[in-house]
Structure 1
């Protein structure tokens, strides 16, 4: 074989190997979601790639057949065609016995170098950078190869499947995306500049709604402002002047007997024309929506949407009222600090310490302090609950708990309830950077 012919054949084999290598990596790295979008837009090649991803056995088999055949042919041609020329070249300078062996190694090294660089590294790196584009460009070639080598593919694929069944190993590709996967993608998008910080904040908070129960954002029982059915006009006005809520519960002797709720502006409007308005007037009193305390915020939002309400009373398993929640409370979880005008529950005093309200949800504390998880967090929902769980007693001032990198110290209590905590970074961690 002439040298020129040998070089052309080796270059052809390199091109074939490059196509197969890039197809292998691109098919594995192509994102199913992006391909599905292209397929929905009518791109047949994207549909073909998705079909190969669902059953990759035949594709992997033909890839291995192709790569091994090309490698063997490349080695044979490189050895037989290039070796004589190197022997002739080196013999001009020396007649030593090692010339033939050395020329063989040089031919082998050159061919291997070319295959590694041009048929492996470069195409695979391109395929990793542009997986969907290259997968769609090479899918036609690979489908043709699968058809040509169909008998061999069927034999090897059947043998491999038999071995996997014997070992009870599943070979089905799982492309199920979880909320954690989406949050990770959002974080990566924010770091790369594709998403703004506000957009990342909103998306992550939406997923928080599925994990949080309604009790994490409710107005607790002791803070509920209500009107008793026996209140006269002056008592009602005094209550409204002290607490400017848009909706107020109407009770009969206390929260254990809720009759409904009234709109403050409607009540005040009626007082302008009639000073003897009854709080239980059917034209004024609206039926309250009751929800269990086990619902997630997302479920409460769906309930508000289906009922047309934006205010609900929360009860526990013993049918006791534990709090109330409004549509604004639910949406504040999504919008959070972007729109919140209320007093912050977490205030950073300095670089190493924070003041945190006892009713602050665990999720907010975890985010502010960069804590991955709290122990047995299924038993409580607030940072105050965490302290009671860890202390195993009724809390009092100066009680403290060491957890993770922090010291949690109670600085104020009210009626056995933890009102405020001082959280400080422990001294042995202060030389490291603390979360902002």
Structure 2
């Protein structure tokens, strides 16, 4: 064969190897969820790709056979065709020793570059751009290649499976999807403009219900407004007028002896029915849902659904009331600023200098989102901004106590009976950053 025929055959081998490389990456990178949607829309090619992914051993064996055979044949053909050409070309301006070796090196570099560029790098990058579309486009010729190499691939798979079994390697693929993977997809969607930033936070908050405890969202004990069974009617009216709440727990003497709750709509109905007088008793209050403080928000949603209630009292292991929580509180946790803009503004406020004023009761997740922090140290040990400060300081905080973490200073601005009311968060200049990951700076 002349040089042109050698180069034409070499080009065919390069294209064949490129096709196999492209199919390998596209089949491996095609997302099962997207293929499933295409298959449900009626695309038979997507079903074939999914079936091949589930039983991919035959294809990869055939692909590796083809790639290695093409690489060996391409090397032999390239060296045989190009070395004389490079040798003749070198003779024009170089007649010294080593011409054979130089010609061999040049032919080797040329053929290798040709295969790397057009049979490996470019096909794989093309396949990664749209793996599902590429996989469906090549699925029919791929199935033909598998049938062509079936005897050889079967033999190789038998040997490979025997070796895997000998070394105790489990070849079962797990297709579990984790929260981190879903979060990464959602974040990628937000960066691509498919999702708005608020929608991204909404989706992430829904998944966080599984890990967040009820104590991170409840109204705490000191902020509970409750009625006593013997409370005068006038006092009840004043509390309802002073507090914009729809439900009030009813207690027998002290807050830890909860007997039920009152819905202000029931009182309104009585007033509309011209019942000007009403009194509280165990027969007129509703049964309240009592839950432990160890429940997650997701578990509480299940309790609300099964009991048909939307209000619950939270108690600790000593049967002391630690807070109350409603279905609306959970919705605010999910919706964030959408659900309750006034409440969110009261908990976090950005000042003109870029610093933040954060209420001590602000949930950790909300504080991280507001100040743009990915994580806090040992987050499972506290639930609020105040809890973060107490964990970092390792003491009961006082005014002006501060800690530094990830280039930010957290300073206690106001303390009320050992409870942190407000925290100032300010980003430090690069030269002011703490040397360690987290540095208490108590004063």
Fold match, TM over 0.5? yes
- Number of aligned residue pairs: give it: 431
Deviation string, structure 1 residues 269-290 (Cα, Å, up to 9, x no partner):
31452333222274x4221122
Shift of 1:181: 1.2
Query: Counterpart of 1:149?
Result: 149
Q: Cα distance 1:98–1:231, how it changes in 2: closer, same or farther (>3 A)? A: closer
CA distance in structure 1 between the partners assigned to 2:279 and 2:231 by the alignment: 9
| Post-superposition offset of 1:92 | 7.8
| Cα distance in structure 1, aligned partners of 2:301 and 2:308 | 10
Rounded Cα–Cα distance in structure 1 between residues aligned with 2:396 and 2:433: 34
TM-score, with length taken from structure 2 = 0.87
Indicate how the Cα distance of structure 1 residues 93 and 315 shifts in structure 2: closer, same or farther if over 3 A, else same.
closer
| Alpha-carbon distance between aligned partners in 1 of 2:94 and 2:286, rounded to the nearest angstrom | 107
Give the match for residue 274 of structure 1: 275
Quote how far apart the aligned CAs of 1:206 are.
Answer: 1.3
Describe the superposition over 1:399-423 as per-residue Cα deviations: whole angstroms up to 9, x where unpaired: 3333332333222222222222223
Q: Which moved more, 1:97-106 or 1:43-52?
A: 97-106
Judging changes above 3 Å, is the alpha-carbon distance between structure 1 residues 20 and 249 closer, same or farther for their aligned structure 2 residues?
Answer: same
DSSP-derived class of the 2:209 partner: helix
How far does residue 327 in structure 1 lie from its aligned partner after superposition? 1.4
SS at match of 1:374: coil
- Aligned-residue CA RMSD (Å): 2.8
Map 1:113-132 to 2 at 5 A: 113-132=113-132
Once structures 1 and 2 are overlaid, which stretch shifts more, 252-261 or 168-177?
Answer: 168-177
Structure 2: distance between partners of 1:35 and 1:327:
38
Query: The residue matched to 2:210 in structure 1 has which SS?
Result: helix
> Which residue is equivalent to 1:383?
385
Give the stretch that moved more between structures: 157-166 or 89-98. 89-98
Residue matched to 2:183? 183
Confirm or deny: 8 A CA contact 2:262 2:286 kept in the other structure: yes
Shift of 1:131: 0.8
CA contact (8 A) 1:54 1:172 kept: no
Residue 204, structure 1, aligned to residue 200, structure 2: no
Q: Deviations over 1:260-315 (max 9, x none)?
A: 22221321331452333222274x42211222212222222233233322211112
Change (3 A) 1:426 1:15: closer
**Shift of residue 218 of structure 1?**
0.7
In structure 2, list runs of 5 or more residues that go unmatched: 435-443
Aligned twin of 1:406: 408
The farther-off stretch of 325-334 and 110-119 is 110-119
Q: 1:226 and 2:226 equivalent? A: yes
TM superposition shift of 1:48 = 3.2
- Aligned-pair distance for 1:188? 1.4
- What does 1:13-412 correspond to in 2, within 5 Å? 13-84=13-84, 104-271=104-271, 273-280=274-281, 282=283, 284-340=284-340, 341-342=342-343, 343-351=345-353, 353-412=355-414
1:53/1:173 contact within 8 Å kept? no
User: Which residues of structure 1 form unaligned runs of 5+?
Assistant: none
Q: Structure 1 stretch 272-281 or stretch 324-333: which is displaced more?
A: 272-281
Tell me if structure 2 keeps the 8 A contact 1:22–1:126.
Answer: yes
Residues 387/95 of structure 1: CA separation in 2 closer, same or farther (3 Å cut): closer
Going from structure 1 to structure 2, the CA distance change for 1:294 and 1:103 (only over 3 Å counts) comes to: same
Deviates more, 1:134-143 or 1:234-243: 134-143
1:351 positional shift: 4.1
Query: Retained in 1: the 8 A contact 2:214–2:297?
Result: yes
Q: What is the CA distance between 1:317 and its match in structure 2?
A: 1.9
